Structure 1
Amino acid sequence: MTLVVAWAGFDDKSRHRRKVSSLYIAADSRISWDGTARYDGHQKVFASVKHPEIFGFCGDVTFCNMAISQILTKIDSNILFSSEESNKADIIAAEISQMVREYPSANNLRNSQIIYGTRIATQFHFFLFEFKSREVLLSEWPISEERGRKIYFGGSGRDSFNDNWINVDHEKDENHMTTRNVYHCVARTIEQCADSQVGGVPQLVGLYRVGAGRQFGIVKDGTCYFGGLPCKDLPNLTNLEWRNDNFERVDVNTGNLMPGAHPQPMR
């Protein structure tokens, strides 16, 4: 199964007029069979390389991965919609619905969810796709400070994540109401989760006020990972932005903080 979490970042320069400045989706990297065999390198979060679109999922690995991959290919080929269209989620829902109608195991999708973050003009939006028999249910979730910046968490690791979140979601925590606080909770949950179906190295995608979606590399225990898999021998690793368990921007070659990056220690 999975742990997948979505959250927003805010521009705090003016505490009286906070605005959403970023949107993130993170997940673990493990898939398993029969509760015993497992693989810690399966992609669960996705970002368009041309447009402001990010995705994640929990549940049926085969269907969700297939659906997101096909939709992203159409998005990046510029044949599905333009970045500024206001009904992008409806278009995606229609695409998923068509796939569900042809999917032999559609009745097994009831515990599956696909999440979608986008930017339309200057506004960020977050959507949830759920499945009821062969019907796709679409809902938009609000992004607001009142939700504590955490928007959504799902998968078999959700209860473990929620327990960790309760422990840190208070004003006495130095990281309270920060984007790093959510990521710290994700990293801690993946590492400590009692559910053997959750594990591996975190995966992370993000969306900012300008540009397309971003896929981040992760540096953990001195090793660099992309999509849950070690990738130290790839030739152009500096083309990615890299984060560690503290959500700090780091140099992929040294593991040290990037120039100008602020320490964000996990409490």
Structure 2
Amino acid sequence: MTTLAAWSGVDPRGPASLYLVSDSRITWGSQSKRWDAGRKLFGCRNTPDVFGYVGDVVFPSLLLGQIAAAADDGVLFGAEANAQSRHAIVVETAKISLASRYNAPDYGFTILHGARDGVGMNARFRLWELTYNAATATSAALWTDEELPIDEKQSALHTALGSGGHAVIKQNDALKYDAQGRTSRSIFWAFCDSLKNKTDPLSGGAPQLVGLYRTATAKSYGIAYEGHRYYQGLLVPDSAHLSGIEWRDVTFQRVDGATMQVLPGAQRHGRR
């Protein structure tokens, strides 16, 4: 399985951000058969939409890559499409694509879709959980689609899915009453702590992070993790171009991609 979580950030003016975070481990039946550099999160460059998945790997990872590319090229969404309309198209596309399989293995999965309506102080963040329940004799419905409520008064973890989801929830609950609890950074800490603690053997590799803000489109982050740099689960070598994206460390601090040290002037997030 995997670990996938979503949370929103709130500042004194109201809702300010929406994030998806995931691990990078893909397994084949057990932790002894694994790949720790698999991409699990996707962000669109031309629309404010982010996606992540848990469960089956092959279909959702290929589908979300196609959806992101089609959205970036203006194929899926018109310029006037709001978040609800974009989500409806995503759901329709997923169902049509899945129906085109022939004698393929049938595994369940869940896709999180984070989106934004409006910009600036008129921005409203939305989050959906789309699940395909692998066909069985007892399945009540093959597809379920639920919009999750977004807390607009405080930063909050909205869901944590996959085999490691319970560990993230437990760790986040333990940090709620810390001096820096109920902040975006504390939720990210909870995710990274649960990953580092290896509570779930089917989750591993480096964290992946994508986010939406009040303006602009999706942002994908580089992560400084255990002395190395990662981007969407991929180990980034020293020789790479490191200044093209924003980098964060496990305390959610903004860091220099080359040195992995906190950027001058960046807010520091000390932990007790």
Q: Could you give the per-residue CA deviations for residues 32-62 of structure 1, whole angstroms, max 9, x where no partner exists? A: 1131211110001111122211111100011
- Aligned partner of 1:164 in structure 2 is 171
Q: Which residue of 2 aligns with 1:97?
A: 95
What TM-score do you get using the length of structure 2 for normalisation?
0.89
Percent identity at matched positions? 30
1:180 alignment partner in structure 2: 185
Would the alpha carbon gap of residues 82 and 237 (structure 1) be closer, same or farther in structure 2, given more than 3 Å must change? farther
Match of 1:21 in 2: 16
For residue 108 of structure 1, report the CA deviation from its aligned partner.
2.0
User: Distance between the aligned counterparts of 1:77 and 1:31, measured in 2?
Assistant: 29
Counterpart contact for 1:52–1:83, Cα < 8 Å: no
Report the Cα distance in structure 1 between the residues aligned to 2:153 and 2:14, rounded to whole angstroms. 13
Distance 1:256 1:83 in 2: 39
In 2, the alpha carbon distance for the partners of 1:147 and 1:193 equals 29
Shift in Å, 1:76: 0.6
Of 71-80 and 94-103, more deviation after overlay is shown by: 94-103
Structure 2 residue corresponding to 1:144, chosen from 140, 148, 151: 151
Report the Cα offset of residue 165 of structure 1. 1.7
1:5 corresponds to 2:5: yes
Per-residue CA deviation, residues 167-207 of structure 1 (Å, 9 max, x unaligned), is 1122xx01111000110001011111232111111000011
SS of the residue aligned with 1:264? coil
How many angstroms does 1:216 deviate by? 0.2
TM-score when normalising by structure 1:
0.91
8 Å contact kept, 1:47–1:215: yes
**Any residues of structure 2 matched to 1:97-246 within 5 Å, and which?**
97-103=95-101, 104-105=103-104, 107-109=106-108, 112-121=109-118, 122-132=123-133, 133=135, 135-145=142-152, 149-170=156-177, 173-246=178-251
- What is residue 64 of structure 2 aligned with on the other side? 68
Paired letter, 2:145? L
Moved more, 82-91 or 37-46: 82-91
Gaps of 5+ in 2: 136-140
Taking a change above 3 Å as real, the CA distance of residues 20 and 82 of structure 1, as seen in their structure-2 partners, is farther
Structure 1, unmatched stretches of 5+, are 13-17
Offset of residue 71 of structure 1: 0.8
1:42 aligned onto 2:38:
yes
Displacement after TM superposition at 1:266 (Å) = 3.5
CA RMSD of aligned residues (A): 1.8
Q: How far, CA to CA, are the matches of 2:93 and 2:189 in structure 1?
A: 34
Deviation for aligned residue 1:106: 6.8
In structure 1, the partner of 2:138 is none
Query: How many residue pairs get matched?
Result: 258
